[in-house]
Chains A and B, each alone.
Chain A
């Protein structure tokens, strides 16, 4: 497999920029590692890592200069492909009626840098929602078009990670143009000095074409083995596990279960879990006018099944209790999603656990139901 040294990564970034790609990837911002525009590898969280637990997230310095030495942060790539707030069209009064002015959709030519395996699965899941349905969405397919993905095999698992349980990682297996495994070898293991390099796997012809612009060598057997060990070690470090055996029927059978009442005493219905989830796709629309009343707009915004408005029909809210809203979210994510889209809606990234202000843990909720099933 090809191998890039640390400094050649900037040349890879340059090769993408020359092709007109806008680079986005992890960067340190307000005490969290988030996805945003990148100019060079210096914008990456060099030498930073994170600590994650239920309701807890902290960044801290590492002992080395790793570029990708952390788990996933609060933002996911859906922010780019399925925008949080988006105008769908405008309308202008004209004569007896009005005229609709559609939005012009220009492919943004994103290059996503540092996409993790769980996130590749999340993107594939949102593709099913927005592209494969009865009518493809007006915007998502355009954002998605031309997307170049440099994935990264995780070098360490976060405290709330459970991709091994969901069969979505930590090794990227599909959906990327290139995938990197970051290897850091201290001097005592390496010959001479510290070594910092990336073993590259090519996923597409486009990926191979970009890689040809960047000086690289072929990995030795030892270097390939070192990359394998990185992934194996990560797989063994999962912070959480979730037993998915017959999970759809487990939750279908337990629509009524005392655990839903119990979790409802903790859940604040704040909707954080749905905002950080890389697959949650629910949205609402808002119609607005300007002061003259001549110009109207329709906007789409991320929405959450945790709000009362979400299920409102004349006469009242269908899911008014906290219990029913938590149950809807978790049952959708892990069970009804399978009937709807042929896949689980959960990729085991752990964000909903980390960013829940009271630390509700989806893996723990499933375990509680499984262990106390009548």
Chain B
């Protein structure tokens, strides 16, 4: 089995989420590969656009919804622009799934605390959906989400929908509000001073800018959340996703195969170091 070979997948649906953000629903063309494909929330695929390149994109759909894979993509450069420029019926190459996953088994019976900032939302959407569809397995679901401006709020409709879910709390905050903004103002970690988190029975899963995660970890640790119950999804440059290219090194870890989801106590001595 040649790990470099992508398999063709069809864009079966394209949905606009926000300014320059789209979700592509992909369907692997080969039936045998499609049936065999299994992933867990938090993992990612390498998606190839013919002649343009390949990028890692996290999977946001539910692992039990078979037959398709959703990827939410924000245009940040040439590759993501090419992906978002695709139409329904177009073909991409797909390799995956790669990497580690969110601790959804370990978190059974606990409160699930989601902390995301900026555009880090996409990798945790899979967790929120997963918990929402299996409500009896978990305690309360608390979602903390901070963005720069109201314009950057992805999934506005989904947040509203989540807010109505049983045992679910959604806290939104922006650094720079506009006149219509009716939620909180300030960085996401301010919210921890206003909302109680049960340190004894919470599993925290976070994704977003490293500066935000650093403050969030510090505040959560101060509230008594154990280091081994905080999980982070990290991002680094990635060319191969299979541990050969060396680009995604994070101290001794390779984000592609040891991550992207890492438990805080396992990266504690490296986390937050400048230019690591």
Chain A interface residues toward B at CB < 8 A:
88-89, 91, 93, 96-100, 102, 129-130, 133-138, 252, 255, 281-285, 287-289, 293, 296, 298, 303, 305, 310-315, 318-321, 323-324, 328, 332, 335-336, 339-340
Contact = CB atoms under 8 A, between A and B. Distances in A.
A340 B256 CA distance: 13
B55 to A, nearest CB: 10
Contact of B29 (A97, A102, A134, A340): A97
Contact of A133 (B54, B244, B247, B274): B244
23 contacts: A89-B5, A91-B93, A93-B50, A96-B10, A97-B8, A97-B91, A98-B50, A129-B243, A130-B244, A133-B243, A134-B242, A137-B244, A138-B2, A282-B246, A284-B239, A284-B247, A287-B52, A303-B239, A303-B245, A305-B246, A313-B236, A318-B236, A321-B275
B1 A135 contact: yes
B275 A137 contact: no
B53 A287 contact: yes
Contacts of A93: 50
Contacts of A284: 239, 245, 247
Which of the listed residues B5, B247, B257 has the most CB atoms from chain A within 10 Å of its own CB? Answer: B247
Contacts of A134: 242-243, 257
A84 B244 CA distance: 14
Interface in B1-60: 1-8, 10, 29, 48, 50-54
Contact of A314 (B52, B76, B246, B252): B76
Interface residues of B, number: 44
A313 B29 CA distance: 30
Contacts of B3: 135-138
A256 B237 CA distance: 23
A321 B273 CA distance: 14
A130 B89 CA distance: 36
A289 B51 contact: yes
B246 A339 contact: no
Question: Would you call the interface of chain B mostly helix, strand, loop, or mixed?
Answer: loop
Contacts of B8: 97-100
B224 interface: no
Contacts of A319: 275-276
B64 interface: no
B240 A285 contact: yes
B254 interface: yes
A260 to B, nearest CB: 10
Contacts of B77: 314
Nearest to B244: A137
Contacts of A296: 50-51
A135 B5 CA distance: 12
Contacts of A311: 236-237, 247
Contacts of A318: 236-237, 275-276
Contact of A135 (B7, B242, B245): B242
Contacts of A98: 8, 50, 91, 93
A100 B239 CA distance: 18
